[in-house]
Amino acid sequence: MNVAVIGAGYVGLVQSAGLTHLGHTVTLGEANADRVADLRAGRIPIFEPGLAELIERAIENDLLFFESDNHAAVRGADVIFLTLPTPPGADGHADLRIVKSVAAELAEVLTPDQLLVTKSTVPVGTAESLRSILREKGCEAGVLSNPEFLAEGTAVDDFMRSDRIVIGAFEQDHGDRVAALYTGLEGEILITDPVSAELVKYASNAYLATRLTFANAISNISEEVGADAVQVLEAMGLDSRIGPKFLRPGPGYGGSCFPKDTAALLGITAGVGYDFPLLEAVIATDHYQRSRIIEKAGAMLGGAAGKRIAVWGVAFKANTDDVRESPAVRIARGLADAGAAIVMTDPEARTDEFPVVDDPVLAAENADMVIIATEWPEFIHADFAKVAEVMAGDIVYDVRNLLDPEAVRAAGLTYIAIGRPTI
């Protein structure tokens, strides 16, 4: 099929590349002309494992084209996906101005047999309001919702091996046509109405945020009672009703999705007069998680003021260069506010807020403490003998439970895990 994808951000690039892999021809519309020029030259603006290779192959096979004019991008497309930014507005609601203005622009050219599909996370009711925008302009194109469930760092794999594909359609035939695009993928396809599809996305992200926040609370309780949270959570996960995923204790959730979508779901529920104290508590407990780590780090140093702290990790999680709402940066910020000097290191991500160096050992130079804030596998293999040699202090505070405690201890360092008895 011929597909257009509007918005060459992270979701748009993965969606386009994935669809070309399934044999479809995709035109990616992007308003930023510099980005279009970069993409045409094979330069990919984000770091996402496997994405560059997929895009390169699609360009070579004449399956992927780039356009800075949206009207040109959608010409001849059977299905048009909107993968546009929906930043949080001041009230927590997603700001839909870009999505709506592009829908209005496309209404001038879309024909009744074309299908316009929202892909990026949009508030419940968006498909309905986009349909109204189109109809007001006399455009009879179909409107659907097909939320994305890609996680950064594994997005290409998530596309290829999704658990489920959710399509919200006003008309069954429209749903079937969008479903046909995904032939060849193993995920279960569920066709429902647009409002339900839109809610699936918020409910899923809020549930995952709740689950990992619960794991963090169990991890904190484990610290207090002397239990080993890793074993407690592993044992919980062995119950098939619970399952093992998203029970990894850490510094709380970050990224562009969970913080935004939990706040947005609260906004949606407030809008319909429904109280959701459970979700409010999740958000508050998540904030507490980082304050607790900041306080514990300060306490271990006898106060953070005047101390030098190396924070390993800048990205909000491993395998991405995304620093939005990054727990690593927030922890660094909290300790800097308490008077510590911060140096960070990360294989991919950067921030303007603190000095960032490439080499973890260099970051550890003269540091009183190293905090492992992002779970990059590279950190596991760091030379801890050298780290011990260059540090001023000896504490390694691993808030991801990433490192091998024995390897760190063997270098003469003091290893502090999260949710586990002090080793």
Min dist CB 327 to ligand UGA, Å, is 6
Identity of the residue, 27 or 319, whose beta carbon is nearer to ligand UGA in the bound complex: 319
- Tell which positions 114-133 bind ligand UGA, by CB under 6 A: 121
The minimum distance between CB 167 and ligand UGA, in angstroms, equals: 15
Residue 387's contacts (CB-CB under 8 Å, 6 or more residues apart) are 360, 361, 364, 370, 396, 411, 413
Sheet of 341-345: strand order equals 356-357, 341-345, 308-312, 369-372, 395-398, 414-416
Query: How many chain residues interact with ligand UGA (CB under 6 A)?
Result: 21
**Site track for ligand UGA across 386-415, x = CB under 6 A:** ------------------------------
Residue ranges in 197-216 that form contacts with ligand UGA under rule CB under 6 A: 205, 208, 212
Binding pattern for the stretch 147-166 against ligand UGA, x by CB under 6 A and - elsewhere: -xxxxx--------------
Among 247, 263, 282, 403, binds ligand UGA (CB under 6 A): 247
* CA of residue 340 relative to chain centroid, distance: 29
Q: Which amino acid would we find at residue 66?
A: F
How far apart CA 106 and CA 100 sit, in angstroms, is 10
Q: What b/e string do you get for 192-230 counting C-beta neighbours within 10 Å, with b at 16 or more? A: bebeebbbbbbeebbebbbbbbbbbbbbbebbeeebebb
Minimum gap (Å) between residue 326 Cβ and ligand UGA? 8
Surface-to-core class of residue 129, CB atoms within 10 Å of its CB (0-12 exposed, 13-18 middle, 19+ buried): middle
Interface segment toward ligand UGA; rule CB under 6 A; list 185-193, 249-257, 277-285, 338-346: 249-257
Q: Is 257 a catalytic residue?
A: yes
Encoded one letter per residue, x for contact with ligand UGA by CB under 6 A and - for no contact, window 303-342 reads -------------xx-------------------------
Q: Which stretch binds ligand UGA (CB under 6 A): 58-66, 126-134, 244-252, 382-390?
A: 244-252
CA 280 to chain centre: 20
Query: How far from 334 is each of 96, 304, 363, 366, 386, CA to CA, in Å?
Result: 32, 10, 18, 20, 27
Please identify which of the residues 4, 26, 247, 257 carries the catalytic annotation.
257
Question: Which one, 148 or 346, has the nearer CB to ligand UGA?
Answer: 148
DSSP string spanning 8-58?
-SHHHHHHHHHHHHTT-EEEEE-S-HHHHHHHHTT--SS--TTHHHHHHHH
Considering the complex, state which of residue 8 and residue 257 has its C-beta at the smaller distance from ligand UGA.
Answer: 257
Nearest approach, Cβ of residue 89 and ligand UGA (Å): 17
Contact residues: ligand UGA, CB under 6 A: 121, 148-152, 205, 208, 212, 246-248, 250, 253-255, 257-258, 261, 316-317
Q: Which residues are catalytic?
A: 257
